[in-house]
Structure 1
Amino acid sequence: MNVYQQIEAEILAASSIVITSHKSADGDSVGCSLGLLYFIEKLGKKAVICHPDASPDFLYWLDTSCIVLMSDKPEKVTEAFQKADLLFCLDYNSTDRVGPDMQNLLESATCQKIMIDHHLHPQDFPSIVVSETSASSTSQLIVELIEQSGHGELLDEKIGTPLYLGILTDTGSFRFSSVQPRTHEILAKLLAAGVQHHLVHEMLNDNNTASRLRLQGYAMAEKLEIMEDYQVSVISLTKEELAKYNYKKGDTDSLANLALSIKGMKAAIVFTERDGIMKISFRSKGKENPVNVLASDHFNGGGHANAAGGMSELSVNETLAKIKDLIPTYFSIQ
């Protein structure tokens, strides 16, 4: 029995299943959660998705009404955890990634826990761990679960669409080095199952608000700084600047990739002042320019070699100065 067959057996034996993912949900965390939910339902079982907080507006075209938020309904989430005899931990590798409130519930739960994730250095809190750091996304691993547990025939448009979205977003529209031949094999299976890939791209990319575009334009025109000697671009945005452009969650998600797209750039760093801290996104190109080390060494973060996150409790100006001071240490001069 392989690990995916073992997971299927756990699903069939469970009476109360909870699916969780990390705080500040992205396309992969939402996509893998929904894809797993629909698969579980196809197996004749029921489950509930509990996330720490809301996903960005640009994902609302998916039916996210089945996702219960700790930030909105803590009593309902607490009840679900207390009843659970099987807990899925998707797209995160440590308990602190779900935020302090849900972390307490997760750590105190005595039921069977299953981690399915593709990030480095997983903690050993789950009973069953699928940790495939070479996988493009956790959504790809949910397809593997469906296939390798012997239920490939259950793949359909409903299950496949959020999983396609998860792979699409976590690979930067299939441009990151995490895309392997197996990724495209899985994408082909999703298309054969009925996923209308062109509609996913349209819903994801063609739903900008005017304020989001204005904020991105301001950031690129007024706040972009390029350290030419090191080929690193940096953007910082204060809470006042975000408010001026009616910032909504997700509005700055594409800025790091946009700054990285500048000809000759090795890396891009974008940070925004939110909730009293600086939230930082790191992006880079190539194996020789990992940014997860910088994020983990100095900004209480981490992630993939070319896509990482972190935070700073310093002021905007102090965080900017710190980043500029560290760039020469982590990126070679030209």
Structure 2
Amino acid sequence: MNNTYKEIEAAIVAASSIVITAHKSADGDSVGSSLGLLYFIEKLGRKAVICHPDKAPDFLDFMDLSHIMLLSDEPENVRNAFQQADLIFCLDYNATDRVGAEMQVLLEEAACMKIMIDHHLNPQEFPTIVVSDTTASSTAQLIAELIVQSGHAALLDAKIGTPLYVGILTDTGSFRFSSVLPRTHEILAMLLAAGVQHHLIHETLNDTNTVSRLRLQGYAMSEKMEILDHYNVALIPLTKEELEKFHYKKGDTDSLANLALSIKGMKAAIVFSERDGIIKISFRSKGKENPVNVFASEHFNGGGHANASGGMSELTVQETLEKMKRLIPEYFKKIE
């Protein structure tokens, strides 16, 4: 039995006011791990509240996001939750700036115990307890480990298991990434045995396209994608005007990088779109020889996993495209 997980369980039982946080621009893993942990805490007879910086994409609404307070919508309630907290969970992020400037202040000012559970590289040392496992497929898998390794596998049920399954599913690209190990499947088997209806989850996640989203993706692939043939890298730049033309909603561009990466022989795909006054960038790649996290970190204020990272640029879309083209030869081997 993992002593760190037992220590976390003891902290939960001892706490009177627990806050669960995750990174800005929430994804399936941060939402799934947050909800799974919340339901586990409730099974232990304790109460907690989830506080996220902003709303998750609409396709995750089926998990009942009403349990999540948003700093963007309820700033006073979130501030009060942080001020009253005697335990804060930091899920799916490794540095305080990942929660956004406003929540970062609340997090850093809170004097209570903090517990990080995460699978990204190079964690900061701000928490009291750290579970940082870069070999784990997802933070949701680590929450499942918390439940099992603390001796509470019997508490796993469909309510806890469904968001954890969603977290693992989305952060592994439907179990296709190299981060999926034998232990991942062992955890998935436990979740299915607990009553998770995996086929319904796949249907719900995959059959939620809107006409505008599909048209945006079609436009991006047919009109905007540029392939650097000598490096097998695909670039897809999208301006604010182009997103507005297709009635963009949060999450509409999430699958574009993986779609471009599915092209035969493609090493990497980079999508950058103009949103909220900056250029947001998604990096995806294949294989150990084509990591993108260092590229994102060194030039685009980002980072993440070796083959899946994020970043940003304060340049224009065109300037960002030109910068990308200049730098790619330094990070990807030329095909002779």
Matched, 1:299 2:306: no
**One-letter amino acid of the counterpart of residue 48, structure 1:** V
Looking at structure 1, the residues matched to 299 and 164 of structure 2 have their Cα atoms a distance apart, in angstroms, of 33
Offset, 1:276: 1.1
What does residue 250 of structure 2 align with? 249
What does residue 196 of structure 1 align with? 197
Q: TM-score, normalised by structure 1?
A: 1.00
What does residue 134 of structure 2 align with? 133
Q: How is 1:45-60 mapped onto 2 (pairs within 5 angstroms)? A: 45-60=46-61
Q: How is 1:165-176 mapped onto 2 (pairs within 5 angstroms)? A: 165-176=166-177
What does residue 120 of structure 2 align with? 119
Looking at structure 1, the residues matched to 123 and 179 of structure 2 have their Cα atoms a distance apart, in angstroms, of 18
What does residue 221 of structure 1 align with? 222
**One-letter amino acid of the counterpart of residue 116, structure 1:** I
Matched, 1:180 2:165: no
Looking at structure 2, the residues matched to 271 and 57 of structure 1 have their Cα atoms a distance apart, in angstroms, of 20
CA RMSD of aligned residues (A): 0.5
Looking at structure 1, the residues matched to 178 and 67 of structure 2 have their Cα atoms a distance apart, in angstroms, of 33
Identical aligned pairs, as a percentage? Answer: 78
**One-letter amino acid of the counterpart of residue 20, structure 2:** I
What does residue 150 of structure 1 align with? 151
Unaligned runs of 5+ in 2: none
Looking at structure 2, the residues matched to 25 and 204 of structure 1 have their Cα atoms a distance apart, in angstroms, of 16
Offset, 1:203: 0.7
Offset, 1:303: 0.3
Q: How is 1:275-314 mapped onto 2 (pairs within 5 angstroms)? A: 275-314=276-315
What does residue 269 of structure 2 align with? 268
Looking at structure 2, the residues matched to 215 and 239 of structure 1 have their Cα atoms a distance apart, in angstroms, of 12
Q: TM-score, normalised by structure 2?
A: 0.99
**One-letter amino acid of the counterpart of residue 44, structure 1:** G
What does residue 92 of structure 1 align with? 93
Secondary structure of 1:308's partner? strand
Displaced runs of 4 or more, over 3 A: none
1:71-101 superposed Cα distances (whole Å, 9 cap, x missing partner): 0000000000000000000000000000011
Looking at structure 2, the residues matched to 314 and 170 of structure 1 have their Cα atoms a distance apart, in angstroms, of 29
**One-letter amino acid of the counterpart of residue 196, structure 1:** Q
1:102-145 superposed Cα distances (whole Å, 9 cap, x missing partner): 00000000000000000000000000000000000000000000
**One-letter amino acid of the counterpart of residue 6, structure 1:** E
What does residue 5 of structure 1 align with? 6
How many aligned positions are there? 334
Offset, 1:157: 0.2
Looking at structure 2, the residues matched to 120 and 76 of structure 1 have their Cα atoms a distance apart, in angstroms, of 32
Secondary structure of 1:195's partner? coil
Looking at structure 1, the residues matched to 180 and 279 of structure 2 have their Cα atoms a distance apart, in angstroms, of 30
Looking at structure 2, the residues matched to 70 and 276 of structure 1 have their Cα atoms a distance apart, in angstroms, of 19
What does residue 212 of structure 2 align with? 211
Unaligned runs of 5+ in 1: none
What does residue 17 of structure 1 align with? 18
